[in-house]
Homo-oligomer: A and B are copies of this chain.
Amino acid sequence: MERLKIVKIGGHIINDETALNAFLDDFSKLNTPKILVHGGGKSASTLTQQMNIEVQIMNGRRITNAETLDIITMVYAGKINKTIVAKLQARNTNAIGFSGADGNSITAIKRPVETIDYGFVGDIQKVHIKTLKLLLNHGITPVFCAITHDKNGQLLNTNADTVASELAIAFANAYATELYYCFEKNGVLEDVNKDNSVIEIIDSKTYQTLLEGNNISEGMLPKLTNCFHAIAHQVKKVHIGKSAMLLHTNTKHTTIQK
């Protein structure tokens, strides 16, 4: 089976042009079919402030009202996505920017209101890989922002880590798919204050031990849930760490496996 690498980058890379350029240098050198998924970074919050829009927060979670969705669409699908695509073209990586609406690639349903109405937040229903596969087969690299749609004309805000893992799962039968979460730390750490305390391999067994010992930081928990969800659905391996791990395979990082 041909390999496919799906790489997710978050705010720390997007917010820092030097880091973004260095990442894109590495990413463009990957010589397998590849897909990039990017999060949002600080620009959405900055724009929200500049426009004097109130951020609604409920139980510590941000509500995506219509104004916030507009801002997210402008910043994620517009500014960040097109900047990355143009930078990849300059590196001779033929990229096309995607939201889930483009090519009808990711359909989602608006999260049902139970105790909280999160607004225009989408839970992924299905990833349609046909068009994406056509592009990959022609050497084109899809670049995803974390916006999906409900196929009825409504765009929806979706978690970027989840977009990456659901894409990986959807491709797992067509390609030997590996998923990379690039972030500012070297991987999952035994001690969050010690950047060198990387847990190099986490399998289902060590994961259980970590969970039982309450040894996983709050921010890392949903990321790991995504990882094991992907592994349970035929994704070969998931890697978590600094983006140097993409090209320099001996870079210390965390690998999640069965």
Contact = CB atoms under 8 A, between A and B. Distances in A.
- When A and B form their complex, which 9 residue pairs have the shortest distance between CB atoms, in order from nearest? A78-B78, A74-B74, A90-B153, A74-B78, A86-B101, A96-B102, A77-B78, A86-B149, A85-B101
23 contacts: A50-B50, A73-B82, A74-B74, A74-B79, A75-B78, A77-B78, A77-B79, A77-B81, A78-B79, A78-B81, A82-B101, A82-B102, A83-B155, A85-B102, A87-B153, A89-B151, A90-B151, A94-B103, A96-B103, A97-B102, A131-B138, A131-B140, A134-B134
Contacts of A151: 89-90
A89 B149 contact: yes
Label chain A's interface by main secondary structure.
Answer: helix
Contact of A153 (B89, B101, B152): B89
A76 interface: yes
Nearest to A154: B86
Contacts of A98: 96
A99 interface: yes
Report the copy number of this chain in the oligomer: 2
A160 interface: no
B82 A155 contact: yes
Contacts of A73: 78-79, 82-83
Nearest to A153: B90
